[in-house]
Amino acid sequence: MDFTFVQDPQFFSLVILPLLIFFARVADVTFGTLRIIFISRGMKLLAPVVAFFEILIWLVAIGQIFQDIGSIVNILAYSAGFAVGNFVGILVEERMAIGLNLIRIITQYDAEDLISALKSGGYGVTAVDGAGKHGPVKLIFLVVKRKDIEEVIGMVQHFNPNAFYTIADVRSAKGGDIPHLYRKPRKRRFGQARKEK
């Protein structure tokens, strides 16, 4: 096939360059979105690394724009890259599922099975008796990794499907009995457990 049209200056300025600007802008805005999220979560080491690549890519993209400031195609590519970059950044962050969340569960029904299931799953649970609009309620609090939210909510919906729950970001957590946030202890073999006795 003949690809000589790729070397055509007009094709480069109307197609190749706008595409490069678009993808560069998507990359730098994705990094920017991640940087803001990392800062809000107190990730002091990760945020500056992301910021470095964000500004490096941005300078390349903006440099190309200023070389041909009158090109409407470049301006549109730059703007479209900005919009798509925000969307991609949020998707990437959701996939990474970095950080901690506080889950608050309020239920009017017996919550013992739910509490037992959460504890069996290695989650640190705090349960408090309370009073709601329609009578006694049980308030359950637990701090979990973001990647564990789906599992916890699945338990809630299984054992107490009508429970009310809220999820909030946690900037940091320290102390307490939160075994699932730390390295899980190695399971001892049956023979080792007998020797220790």
Domain endpoint, select from 37, 72, 96: 96
Domain match, 76 and 10 both? yes
Q: Write the pLDDT tens digit of every residue in 30-55.
A: 888 888 888 877 777 888 988 998 88
77, 106: one domain? no
Are 14 and 55 part of one and the same domain? yes
Q: Which of 76, 96, 116 marks a domain boundary?
A: 96
Q: Is residue 192 part of a domain?
A: no
* Final residue before a domain boundary, out of 39, 69, 96: 96
Closest CA to 12 of 59, 73, 78: 73
134-184: per-residue pLDDT in tens?
888 899 999 888 888 889 999 999 998 888 999 988 876 666 655 555 544
Domain assignment of residue 173, yes or no: yes
Q: Do 8 and 92 reside in the same domain of the chain? A: yes
**Do 14 and 63 reside in the same domain of the chain?**
yes
Domain extent, residue 176, equals: 100-181
Q: How many other CB atoms sit within 10 Å of the CB of residue 90?
A: 14
Both 62 and 110 in one domain: the answer is no
Number of separate domains in the chain: 2
Asked if 44 and 124 sit in the same domain, the reply is no
Each residue's pLDDT tens digit, 116-142 = 999 888 888 889 988 888 888 899 999
The answer on 80 and 10 residing in a single domain is yes
Is residue 15 domain-resident? yes
176 and 104 inside one domain? yes
Residue 196's pLDDT band, with cuts at 50, 70 and 90, is very low
CA distance 193 to 195: 6
120 in the same domain as 81: no
